[in-house]
């Protein structure tokens, strides 16, 4: 591929294959596209496949914004066994007889997880303790207890049951460990359960229908940059869900030049334009009258007493 990878500024949605970590997938993308700066938005376990957003070049900082978004999965779990990792890849630590229960009974248990709940991260996870992931401690037989974290389960539907295998659909908040959810469901069923496979259909605004496989990406990378560009989502498009403030070309240039803008002046500007922006929104995008993305700022309504607005990301071009 011709050496124009600096043009690849945007988000590439990869359909992550099973068996690779998110970091390994990221390294493959960097290799195929010959980009030095890239990051992924939202870790997937090696057992999982599906939506993995890759942020290229000057959009890497934007990953933080999309980490806030919900996730949607389809997957399968197996009743009757428990493993140390809470999925089928781990060492089996218990086997129990599967009770004679149908979908409706399993659904009742699944419904008990709906809404805001507290969840303890699994012992084999990327959650860190003193700078090291928990799985590195667990591999050495050291299990670090972690405090439960608040998550939200929007939907947890049982789709099909085939003997001890059960398919499900899940819509959940950031920070949710699906393995832990399945483990906890198995405990409530008094027979244990482990995750067998998992496919992420959506992460924040990124969906599977926009994704490309690593194999296809490798193939296109040999055909030229123009073959890759249609799969790159521009930041302007990806960030459309954020509230926006339209500014003049003069003000947009001042922002690009790094000039500080008084919070009071900016809030007056919003009021003058009669813009309705929720004080709970974390980010605001600033665009020109021609729709060009200028910057992402922290919502000044969150800290109206601050002297200046706080830039999160300024787009120079």
User: What string of DSSP letters covers 201-253?
Assistant: EEETTEEGGG-B-HHHHHHHHTT-HHHHGGGEEPHHHHTTTS-EEEE-HHHHH
Please state, in angstroms and rounded to a whole number, the distance separating the CA atoms of residues 261 and 20: 45
Q: State the catalytic residue, choosing from 15, 45, 87, 184.
A: 45
Please state, in angstroms and rounded to a whole number, the distance separating the CA atoms of residues 105 and 110: 9
**Active site includes 100?**
no
Measure CA 137 to chain center.
Answer: 25
Q: What are phi and psi of 284, to 5 degrees?
A: -135, 140
What strand order describes the sheet that includes 293-298?
Answer: 244-247, 283-288, 293-298, 311-314
Please report which helix (H) or strand (E) contains residue 191, including its range. Answer: none
- Cβ-based neighbour number of residue 68 at 10 Å: 11
Please state, in angstroms and rounded to a whole number, the distance separating the CA atoms of residues 280 and 230: 34
Residues tagged active-site: 45
């Amino acid at each position: 591929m011709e050496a124009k990878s600096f043009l690849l500024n945007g988000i590439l949605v990869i359909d992550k294959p099973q068996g690779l970590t998110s970091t390994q997938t990221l390294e493959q993308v960097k290799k195929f596209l010959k980009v030095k700066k890239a990051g992924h938005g939202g870790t997937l376990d090696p057992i999982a496949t599906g939506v993995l957003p890759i942020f290229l070049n000057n959009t890497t900082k934007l990953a933080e914004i999309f980490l806030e978004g919900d996730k949607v999965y389809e997957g399968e779990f197996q009743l009757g066994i428990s493993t140390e990792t809470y999925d089928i890849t781990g060492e089996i630590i218990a086997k129990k007889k599967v009770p004679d229960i149908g979908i409706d009974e399993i659904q009742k248990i699944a419904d008990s997880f709906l809404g805001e709940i507290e969840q303890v991260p699994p012992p084999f996870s990327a959650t860190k303790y003193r700078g090291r992931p928990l799985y590195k401690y667990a591999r050495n037989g050291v299990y670090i207890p972690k405090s439960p974290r608040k998550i939200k389960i929007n939907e947890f539907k049982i789709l099909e049951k085939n003997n001890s295998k059960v398919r499900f659909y899940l819509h959940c908040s950031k920070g949710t460990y699906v393995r832990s959810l399945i483990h906890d469901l198995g405990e409530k069923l008094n027979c244990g359960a482990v995750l067998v496979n998992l496919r992420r259909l959506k992460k924040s605004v990124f969906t599977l229908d926009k994704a490309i496989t690593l194999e296809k990406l490798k193939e296109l990378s040999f055909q030229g940059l123009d073959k890759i560009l249609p799969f790159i989502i521009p930041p302007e498009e990806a960030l459309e869900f954020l509230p926006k403030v339209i500014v003049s070309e003069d003000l947009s240039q001042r922002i690009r030049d790094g000039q500080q803008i008084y919070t009071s002046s900016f809030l007056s500007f919003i009021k003058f334009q009669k813009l309705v922006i929720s004080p709970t929104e974390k980010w605001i995008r600033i665009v020109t009258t021609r729709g060009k993305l200028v910057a992402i700022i922290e919502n000044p309504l969150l800290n109206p007493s601050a002297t200046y607005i706080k830039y999160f990301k300024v787009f120079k071009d």
